[in-house]
Structures are given as structure tokens and as C-alpha cells.
Amino acid sequence: EAAVTQSPRNKVTVTGGNVTLSCRQTNSHNYMYWYRQDTGHGLRLIHYSYGAGNLQIGDVPDGYKATRTTQEDFFLLLELASPSQTSLYFCASSDDWGDSQNTLYFGAGTRLSVL
Amino acid sequence: AQKVTQTQTSISVMEKTTVTMDCVYETQDSSYFLFWYKQTASGEIVFLIRQDSYKKENATVGHYSLNFQKPKSSIGLIITATQIEDSAVYFCAMREGGGGYKVVFGSGTRLLVSP
């Protein structure tokens, strides 16, 4: 069974603070994604990656950095957090092979509050 | 640029009836993949069903089926014999082919199934 683990599950920080959201997948997938979910907007793509060291810019990248350190680990960094980044963040992984090709497997989400 | 639009914000139906959720998409690619995902009340996001653009036959999985109308760039999700546990938010998503792996989502449709 595909597994994507996000940590922390909940995070509260102050405006201007630094935050790192972590995502680890044990699916041996090449692709990993970071989305934010806000009411009325659905899931919006922040950054995505194909393999360690690769990073692609999504549709709402402003204020976010990301790094894919290994095949398994993808991090989302907020270096100067702002209240507008208060959201529910999801990580997902997928790949091109197998019966579940192209299907996204999601983590449980991280709820971030920026005060 | 690829785009997915869900115009129905919420739908309410009675149990055991059939419901259709609409989704239209925009893409310049001739090859693409379309998906529907379900987000439960707990926040978990799971894959339901997919349609590959080159396939003419509508996909069916259990009591979920798709109405793929390629000339209209439309991919509707049909749930037959709805159950209380079908109450959730449903997201339409698209991934372009041609080597790209960006996946974008619509804003979601909330389904409430009443007894």
C-alpha cells in the first residue's frame, strides 16, 4: 500500500517565522507534489519534483521554497511566514508505472496557522 | 496552460439516487489524463477513477462512472445508488501527457447524501 507521511500534522507560527513542512513517501515514486487547500480554491499546486535535486514551480509558488533531498523526502519551506499562508497543506506522490500509474497518493495533510 | 473548472459548489441528493458532478478542463495537449478524487470528512484524499484521453470508452469502477465528452472538454463523474458515506468533497484533476507531470485540480464539489 502506497504511503505518504507528512509532519508535523499541525503547526502554529508567528508572522515572519520560519517553517519547514516535511513529506516522506515509501512508494519509490519519482514524482512528488505540494498543494495548499483553501476554501473556494480547491487544491492549488505550489511546487513539484521529479527525483532528488529536481524542482518545478507550480501555480502558487510565491513565498514558498521547496527541496527534494532524496527520492523519498520533499520539504516545503516558508522562510518569512505570512498570515496569507495559513492553510491546509498536502503532499502527494505518483509515478508512471504499474497499475496505479499517474495516480496521486496523498499524505494526511499539515494544518498551518500563521498568527 | 492547463486548467480544471468545477462550477457546482455543492449538491444535495437523497440516498439511493444517481448524481452527476460536472468538470470541464482546458489543455493544449492532445494526450492527457483525467481523474476524480474524494476528500472525506476526516480530510483524507483518495483516488476514485481515471480516464485516459485516448480511450473512447467511459471508465467505470464500482458505482462510479465517467461521462467523457472530449469535444466539450468535459469529464463528469456519475455516482449511482448513492450512499450516506458518499457524502464528501469531490475533486476533478488533470495531468497533461507528453512527458509532463504537473497535476492541477478543480475547486471541488461538496456532495451531501441524505437518508
Q: Of B92, B83, B108, which Cα lies nearest the Cα of B19?
A: B83
Q: Scanning the structure block, which residue is given the C-alpha cell 515509501?
A: A26
Measured CA to CA, the distance from residue A78 to residue A17 in angstroms comes to: 8
d(CA A23, CA A72): 8
- Contact call for B35 and A58, based on CB within 8 A: no
Phi, psi of B16 (to 5 degrees): 75, 5
Give the residue among B22, B78, B28 at the shortest CA–CA distance from B48: B78
Burial class (CB in 10 A: 0-12, 13-18, 19+), A40: exposed
* B53/chain A closest Cα distance in angstroms: 13
Q: List the single residue in A with minimal CA-CA distance to B94.
A: A102
Closest Cβ opposite residue B91 in set A42, A96, A108: A42
Q: What is the pLDDT of residues B33-78, one digit of tens each?
A: 999 999 999 999 999 999 999 999 999 999 999 999 999 999 999 9
Using one digit for the tens of pLDDT, what is the confidence trace for B4-39? 999 999 999 999 999 999 999 999 988 999 999 999
Q: Give contacts of A96 with chain B, Cβ < 8 Å.
A: 101
Q: Report pLDDT digits (tens) over A17-67.
A: 999 999 999 988 999 999 999 988 899 999 999 999 999 999 999 999 999
